[in-house]
Amino acid sequence: AFSTSTFTETDRSIVGDDPHVLLSAANNLLFVSTQGAVGVSVLDPTTLDHVPGSPIAIPNVHGAGMTSSGDIFYTTNITGGGADALFAIDTATLTLAGPGTPDSTSFPTPHNIALSPDNQRLFVGHSGAASTKVSIFDISNPADPTLLGAVDAQLNPFGIATVPAIPEPSAWLLA
């Protein structure tokens, strides 16, 4: 944690390597995926202490994504070769969210995650020197992601993000 007035470190929690951190809007808890750790750490943002039920045991965790409501946290199994690639976690119970999770992909190294602005699709970039794939999941039922397929995205789609559509200009703007 850092002071917003002095920018000095005020506290620290040991979680693991290469942390990906998100704050849940549903319960104001920090969800931290860390490669090389035993799972997803869940921290109280005011103390940085692990909450009961943390860490959540998931193998080789890495990526991090969350629904805009903060009810479901998603993470990837980066070294599983595509098997058990995507996990959905219920942020209230700190357990796997539904019977369909984890979900697998056809491609190795599932890495970073992005959700569509309408929370209907989830995208997983597969990193690596020869990787070109982004897997697409239907998350209309957020607790039970369904793999729809994949698209080519050039070499090593490491960073991934989505942006809302830009609305068409109104007729009066064009006049």
Asked if 41 contacts 24 with a C-beta cutoff of 8 angstroms, the reply is no
pLDDT at 157: 84
Burial (CB count <10 Å: 0-12, 13-18, 19+), residue 63: buried
pTM over 0.85: yes
Q: Dihedral sign, CA of 137, 162, 40, 129?
A: positive
The Cα 34–Cα 63 span in angstroms is 8
| Digit-coded pLDDT (tens) for 78-89 | 888 899 999 999
pLDDT at 169: 63
Which residues lie across from 40 on neighbouring strands?
33, 56
The Cα 21–Cα 64 span in angstroms is 7
| Digit-coded pLDDT (tens) for 36-73 | 777 999 999 999 999 999 999 998 899 999 999 999 99
Q: Which pair of structure tokens corresponds to residue 169?
A: 């200009």
Asked if 108 contacts 125 with a C-beta cutoff of 8 angstroms, the reply is no
Question: Can you tell me which residue has the tokens 């056809």?
Answer: 106
The helix (run of H) or strand (run of E) holding residue 173 is: helix 171-174
pLDDT at 170: 60
The Cα 123–Cα 160 span in angstroms is 8
> In the chain, which residues have pLDDT < 50?
175
pLDDT at 138: 96
Task: For residue 138, give the amino acid letter.
Answer: D
Asked if 142 contacts 157 with a C-beta cutoff of 8 angstroms, the reply is no
pLDDT at 171: 56
Question: Mean pLDDT over all residues of the chain?
Answer: 89
pLDDT at 47: 92
pLDDT at 97: 93
